[in-house]
Structures are given as C-alpha cells and as structure tokens.
Structure 1
Amino acid sequence: MQTLVSYVRSGQPDLTNRQMALLLLVYLTPGPHTVRGLAHLLGVSKPVITRALNTLGTLGYLRRVRDEADRRNVFVAKTNIGQEFLERFEHNIEQQEGAGERPSRERSMLFQHG
C-alpha cells in the first residue's frame, strides 16, 4: 500500500492497471511487440491496446515504429522516458521493502474480515 501511496504522491502520471500491465509486458518480455500480439497476451481487444498505447505514447513511455521490411506492420517499442519511469517505480518499491513495510493493523483487519 505504501508503494502505491508514494507513487500517487510522486506526481508521476497515474496509469491504469491496463496501461501498467501493457508497459511492463513490453519492457519485460522479448519483442518485437505488435498491437495484435499484445492484445492476445492480455486477453483484450486491439482497440483497447490502441487506446492504452495512445496514452503511453503521449507520455513518451512507448512508441510505435513502422516495420521497414513490411510497412503494414507496426511494432511497439521502448523509450528512454519509459525506462526511466519504470526504474523510478522499481526504486520506490525497493525503498518500501527496505523500510521494512509490515502489515499495518488496518491491513491485518482487512485480510481477517475479507
């Protein structure tokens, strides 16, 4: 919970779960990545991926690159800005783990009653 609170307070753009999943998928799995392939992997439609890519592209986290061998194909590529965003996010997680984030009384109660 503290990691997410720190993320929200950081001033970085709030990404939806779908956008974050798409970003992580592109950065953590071997490419090349296409809209069709990403839609298949996430189990969503191509328009859903396109909308998420539009947002992530506007933020500079991902970019579309036309395949020079077959101009009909478009690949989704990493960017330096996206890499930096994920590195900051990872650092935030590591800070919370290093701070010994332990279950709070409220969280313990939530899991007991949930």
Structure 2
Amino acid sequence: MPVMLRPSQALRLWQQVCLYEVRAGMPDLTERQLAILLTIYLDPPPHTVRGLAEKLKVTKPVITRALDTMSALKLVSRRRDERDRRNVLIRRTVEGALFVERFGDVIVEKARELSP
C-alpha cells in the first residue's frame, strides 16, 4: 500500500529525521553524500567513481571528495579495480550497512509518529 503524504507532511517527516540525526550526534552528511551513500547501499554493485558521477550528474572530483569524507567515517571503502586500473571500485562496509539500516529505521519510526 503506497504511503500518501502531503508536501507539508513529507517536509515535517524529513525535519524530524534530521533533528533526530543531529541530536543523536550522527555524522553530518551533506545531501550529496547521503545520495551517494544510499545509491551505494540500495543499488546493486559494482559501484565506481565514474558510474556514480554519471548517475548523479556530477564530476568525478565531486564524487571523490564525498567518498573521502565517507571513507574517513568508515561508511565505504575504495580500491583500484584489478581488471581495469583506471576504475576505482567503491565497496560497502559493515559500519556503512549499519548506518544505512539505522537511518531507515529512524525514517520509519518518525513516519509512525506522524501518523494519526
């Protein structure tokens, strides 16, 4: 069954999720970083810098900078593709999987709180 939200409800949900994340002291990810992270974890691999840049319609340096931050937080890891050394493969990590799963749980929880 599809979830039906008015724009104001969707914005309230997003606000509640953001507030929860800030109050919980979770890493401050930009919208771009979060979009990249969710793409890595929700879309089937393999993921490359080039492929992510194409999907998000940004340059490879933009992806690289975002991955630098997410790598430092251990949400993703990178390695050179042994079959094509020009490619950098982006890999999921346990920490990243737990972050994404918890983030999804927060969204569900906050959506339930908004329900009448």
TM-score (norm 1): 0.83
Q: Does 1:41 align with 2:55?
A: yes
What is the Cα deviation at residue 87 of structure 1? 1.1
- Listed as ranges, the gaps of 5+ residues in structure 1 are 103-114
SS across alignment from 2:78? strand
Matching residue of 2:110: 96
Letter in 1 for 2:19: V
Please provide the CA RMSD for this pair. 1.5
| Residue pairs, 1:23-102, within 5 angstroms | 23-99=37-113, 101=114
TM-score (norm 2): 0.81
Cα distance in 1 for partners of 2:63, 2:88 equals 13
- How many residues align structurally? 102
Rg larger in structure: 1
- Listed as ranges, the gaps of 5+ residues in structure 2 are 1-14
| Identity among equivalent pairs (%) | 51
Deviations 1:34-85 (A, max 9, x none): 1111001000011000000000000000110222333332201110000111
Matching residue of 1:111: none
